[in-house]
Amino acid sequence: MAKNTWFKTAGTWKKAVNVWQNINGVWKQRVIPKGNISGVWKDFIQYIINLYINGISNVSWGLYKSRTQTIASIAYSEQTLNFNFRCDSDGAGSSRSFAMYTPEMYDLTSASKVTVEFAEIRLGTSTQNNPLYLIVSTQQTGLATVYNARTSYFKTGVSSNITLELDVSSLSGDFYIRLNATNTDVNDNYAHIRKITIE
């Protein structure tokens, strides 16, 4: 897999920062680049879009809360290089739904999966009431019931080194990426994220 895309301008080779493609008169970012080979346009080697990896976030993530009193947050930890997605309990076990989402849509027509790697997850004591969902949706925010495709993780308590993959190979068009969760536990729920990718 190629690590970088280079182009030559004014006799100097420079590394491309982003790849854009004109689709029906609209310029779209982050698509699989194509090359004209003997008059035929062909996809270059598929590449991975890193939304977040090893302390570097290419997205200004948004935060959604279903109730104004929900205490939820997303924050980067310089010490662990993890992206921390959490919802604090109110101590009484009231239902608190929250989500983190991309500010822009991504063209998933040529993508095969969306992957999230977690260093650690804590989802409380109820598998029914405290799932974590990886979602792609045409709607930017909303509950976990709003999705075009989703997968979930349900194990209770604290889990380490978890990878969640969502198959998007059947989808076509632009979608937001979202992580949805609900806290009905008397303790804080959280997910420490190592990596979020589209490939």
- Distance from C-alpha of 132 to C-alpha of 136, rounded to nearest angstrom: 14
Give the Cα separation of 120 and 88 in Å (integer): 16
**For residue 2, what pLDDT is reported?**
42
The answer to whether residues 159 and 73 touch, using CB atoms and an 8 Å cutoff, is no
| CATH code reported for the domain at 50-198 | 2.60.120.200
Residue 90 has pLDDT above 70, yes or no: no
Distance CA 52, CA 163 (A): 14
Least confident range from 28-42, 79-93, 135-149, 181-195: namely 28-42
> Long-range contacts for 148-157 (Cβ within 8 Å, ≥24 apart)?
148/175, 153/121, 153/123, 154/123, 154/127, 154/130, 155/121, 155/123, 155/127, 156/123, 156/124, 156/125, 156/126, 156/127, 156/130, 157/122, 157/123, 157/124, 157/125
User: Could you give the residue ranges of the DSSP H alpha helices within 22-151?
Assistant: none
Q: Please count the other Cβ atoms lying within 10 Å of the Cβ belonging to residue 144.
A: 20
Residue 60 burial (CB < 10 Å; 0-12/13-18/19+)? exposed
What digits encode the pLDDT tens for the residues 19-64? 666 666 777 665 556 667 778 776 655 568 888 887 788 888 888 8
| Tens-digit pLDDT profile for residues 100-126 | 999 999 999 989 999 999 998 887 765
Q: How far is CA 36 from CA 12, 21, 46, 190, in A?
A: 22, 13, 16, 47
Domain(s) of CATH 2.60.120.200: residues in the chain: 50-198
- For the chain, count helices (H), then strands (E): 0, 19
pLDDT category at 11 given cuts 50, 70, 90 is: confident
CB 152 within 8 Å of CB 133: yes
